[in-house]
A = this chain, B = another copy of it.
């Protein structure tokens, strides 16, 4: 049976997964400088070797598990882009360039559906106004025998955890304190009791805490 997985989900010591004031040049808002550097160290998130900076050490080894066996992703609207309310510019095709890293169907949760966007390399963004279980059923249908990844952000991951629809969650704690933004953990008291939990600090100082079942 296929599984529902979350990978590379970064949080601060105070539990924030993103800062306030998300904008076009700062997906993590005011916390961009604190949360983004981890991604810069991985080939998974910086696939162009020639652009420099992307390493292939232990952070990358774990990060790369993100892609394995995934047939579809579900993401919140703010992982696609920072816009709110009705779409004002349908020409803008999201943060992910013309050859996104996903290479699968991606279901973007939004109260404002719009036509799908098919991009290079197998990524198609579909826009869906649906509760978690219904969106998951669509994504599973698209994924076939493969797993579905819940891609974030924090409100989306939290909704799927609250609905107990997640089988694997890899949280990366980076040792920074953000102070404001959107928290992952709210409403998830005693989450650890539903999972087998493992922890490991990478040489970079980032700590993976995995919840699996």
Identify the A interface with B (CB < 8 A): 11, 13-15, 34, 171, 173, 175-180, 183, 185-192, 197-201, 205-207, 209
Contact of A209 among B15, B175, B183, B185 (CB under 8 A): B175
Contact of A177 among B176, B180, B191 (CB under 8 A): B191
Kindly state the separation between the CA atoms of A176 and B185 in the bound complex, as whole angstroms.
10
Q: Which residues of B have CB within 8 Å of A188? A: 14, 177, 179
Is the pair B14, A209 in contact by a Cβ cutoff of 8 Å? no
Contact of A190 among B34, B192, B199, B201 (CB under 8 A): B34
Is the pair B197, A175 in contact by a Cβ cutoff of 8 Å? yes
Q: Which residues of B have CB within 8 Å of A205? A: 197-199
Is the pair B189, A199 in contact by a Cβ cutoff of 8 Å? no
Is the pair B207, A189 in contact by a Cβ cutoff of 8 Å? no
Shortest beta-carbon distance from A85 to chain B in Å? 29
Q: A190-B34, A205-B197, A207-B199 are in contact. Are A14 and B185 (CB under 8 A)?
A: yes
Q: Is the interface of A mostly helix, strand, loop or mixed?
A: loop
Q: Which of A34, A175, A179 has the most CB of B within 10 A?
A: A175
Q: Which residues of B have CB within 8 Å of A177? A: 185, 188-192
Q: A188-B177, A191-B177 are in contact. Are A200 and B197 (CB under 8 A)?
A: no
Shortest beta-carbon distance from A159 to chain B in Å? 16
Shortest beta-carbon distance from A38 to chain B in Å? 12
Is the pair B14, A173 in contact by a Cβ cutoff of 8 Å? no
Kindly state the separation between the CA atoms of A71 and B190 in the bound complex, as whole angstroms.
38
Shortest beta-carbon distance from A5 to chain B in Å? 18
Q: Which residues of B have CB within 8 Å of A185? A: 13-14, 177, 179
Kindly state the separation between the CA atoms of A49 and B137 in the bound complex, as whole angstroms.
54
Is the pair B192, A176 in contact by a Cβ cutoff of 8 Å? yes
Q: Which residues of B have CB within 8 Å of A15? A: 13-15
Kindly state the separation between the CA atoms of A183 and B187 in the bound complex, as whole angstroms.
15
Is the pair B179, A13 in contact by a Cβ cutoff of 8 Å? no
Kindly state the separation between the CA atoms of A201 and B58 in the bound complex, as whole angstroms.
15
Shortest beta-carbon distance from A33 to chain B in Å? 9
